[in-house]
Structure 1
Amino acid sequence: MPRALLRGAALAAALLCVSAASQAALFEDDEARRAILDLRQRVEAMRQQTDQRLTDENGQLRRSLLDLQNQIEQMRGDLARMTGQNEQLTRTLSEMQSRQTTIDDKLKQSEPSKVSVDGREFTADPKEKADFEAALGVFRSGQFAQAQTAFAEFVKRYPQSGYNASALFWLGNAQYATRNYNEAIANFRSMLSLAPDHAKAPEAVLSIANCQIELKDTRAARRTLEDLTKAYPQSEAAQAGRERLSRLR
């Protein structure tokens, strides 16, 4: 075969190889592009799915947070109401305790209590005690007419009072001070009849004698003074009675 023909044939074969290689390269580029596009699509789909999932999760999270905030606000409201109720209950309890204390104090003030007057112990109501002390205060202030009225009313108001012996004694003294000697003698004797062992019994006997002296009844006064020295010989009133008796003779 001629040499030129051989070169042409070789050239043609080379061109065919180049063309085939080019076609093969073009085919591979298309496949690569399709693969890249497919990958991009899958990535985009995954991104969209992820974005949707995140959007859904964020929405759910926001709803959950909103529900939680609503629950917190409701709990705050409940707590505020409970706090208000507790404060009201506390105030109510305090008021009830205060009223109970007031009632207890009033009951204590109205309950009888043990007192001691002129060496004698007995039970007396608060009002009874207050009335006696008020009458005695009037006497000690020198208002003898008013004291006479106060003690007379006391004896009538409290006929069974443990104060009565003392009240009769001071009533007699108030009457003596206002020159009501006969009434004074009667009340001193009532006092001695009620409580002959009273601490002021000797003074009551001496006061009877003084009233009798003021009434110019010397004989009766002498007998009274003699009875005084016999009945209460160790008393100060008996000593005074002896001196008074010596002057009467």
Structure 2
Amino acid sequence: MAMMRSRFSGCGLRGAAAGALAAVWLAVATPAHAIFSDDEARRAILDLRARLEAQRQTLETLRQALEAAERQLQELRAGGDAARRGTLDVVNQIEALRRELAELRGQQERLARDVADVQRQQRDTLAAFDERLRALEPIKVSVEGVEFTARPDEKAAFEAAMAALRASEFARAAQAYASFLARYPDSGYAPLALYWRGNALYAARDCAAAIQSYQQLLEQFPKHPRAPEAMLAVASCQLELKDVKAARATWQALVARYPDTEAAATARDRLARLR
């Protein structure tokens, strides 16, 4: 009877072990390294954690089965000759359980590494996404008393044009401002881009094109702080083109439109010199 109990219990233990291993193979069958999106990574982490917990429970089942087998082995060794004849079978079952338990623990370690890999991948993906988001997120800027929001790339493009102007690379600066205006026509930097483009063209002795840039500023942004200076610059360009009559008319319009500005005061002085 002891022999029959031993073999029956052993079969049950082996069945539990086989079921546990089957559960583990299902748990680790899906690769965890083809995850790219944030949502997929979250789902993968939840799934792997659930599998890890299922595997932990399986390990516990195998551990209990092994303890039961060892207790059974002790009972057989303490029994009579008939009972001891079943000892070898139980010993073999215990060794099989120990091998399966070691294999299962190795699989659990691999599954835990998969969880860590997906979590690391998720952190890297989120960090890269945040970096891209910051590069596109508008920031508040204040330039010459005017506040507005601008994207980082927009700000960088304007500053690159300003750097060319400061380096006295007037043709390159004028082109950079033109490119900026084409790319960011509604930018808060637009009036300044028009003004400084006019200055770059004036410095390059392209007075006709400079006047067009200044006039565009005056038409689109007549209340901008640089508008009076742009109007004064138009008159200077007209003088360069030997059109004194047009320059006089521009100074007069400047005094009438922006009477309390420094540009208007300069225009009055120049009008007085013409008399």
- Tell me the equivalent position of 2:217: 191
Instruction: Select the residue among 209, 214, 233 that pairs with 2:235.
Output: 209
Q: What whole-Å deviation, never above 9, does each CA across 1:200-233 have from its counterpart, x for those lacking one?
A: 1121112112212222333332332333333333
* Match status 1:140 vs 2:169: no
Q: TM-score, normalised by structure 2?
A: 0.60
Please give the per-residue CA displacement for 1:72-111, whole angstroms capped at 9, x wherever unaligned: 3322221221111111221122113312331343244235
Instruction: Tell me the amino acid that sits aligned with residue 135 of structure 1.
Output: A
Structure 1 counterpart of 2:102: 76
- For structure 2, list consecutive stretches of 5 or more residues without a partner in the other structure: 1-76
Counterpart of 1:94 in structure 2 is 120
TM-score, length basis structure 1 = 0.66
- Aligned counterparts of 1:98 and 1:245: Cα–Cα separation in 2: 66
- The one of 129, 132, 135 equivalent to 1:109 is 135
Following the alignment from structure 2 to structure 1, what is the Cα–Cα distance between the partners of residues 78 and 132? 79
| 1:117 Cα offset (Å) | 3.9
Shift, 1:184, TM fit: 1.1
Aligned AA (2:107): R
1:59 is displaced (CA, Å) by 5.9
2:9 maps to none
The AA in structure 2 aligned to 1:99 is T
Contact 1:118 1:166 in 2 (8 A): no
Equivalent of 2:263 in 196, 218, 237: 237
Larger displacement relative to structure 2 (228-237 or 60-69) = 60-69
RMSD of aligned residue pairs (Cα, Å): 3.0
Match of 2:155 in 1: 129
1:220 aligns with one of 243, 246, 251: 246
Please tell me whether the aligned partners of residues 144 and 177 of structure 1 are also in contact (alpha carbons under 8 angstroms).
Answer: yes
Per the TM alignment, residue 191 of structure 1 is displaced from its structure 2 partner at its CA by 0.4
Aligned partner letter, 2:103: G
Higher CA-based Rg: 1
**3-state SS of the aligned residue for 1:97?**
helix
Q: Give the number of equivalent residue pairs.
A: 199
Name the structure, 1 or 2, with higher relative contact order (CA <8 Å, separation 6+).
2
Unpaired runs of at least 5, structure 1: 1-50
Query: How many Å apart are 1:178 and its aligned residue?
Result: 0.9
1:243, distance to aligned residue in structure 2 (A): 3.7
Query: Does the 8 Å contact 1:218/1:248 carry over to 2?
Result: no
SS state of the match for residue 196, structure 1? coil
What is the DSSP-based 3-state SS (H/G/I as helix, E as strand, rest coil) of the residue aligned with 1:137? helix
Secondary structure (helix, strand or coil) at the match of 2:259 reads coil
Name which of structure 1's ranges 155-164 and 72-81 shifts more when overlaid on structure 2.
Answer: 155-164
1:109-143 CA-partner distances (Å, limit 9, x unpaired): 23555544444444544444333222222112210
Quote the Cα distance in structure 2 between the aligned partners of 1:218 and 1:208: 12
In the alignment, the residues of structure 2 paired with residue 163 and residue 171 of structure 1 have an alpha-carbon distance, to the nearest angstrom, of: 12
User: For 2:230 and 2:204, how far apart are their aligned partners in 1?
Assistant: 16
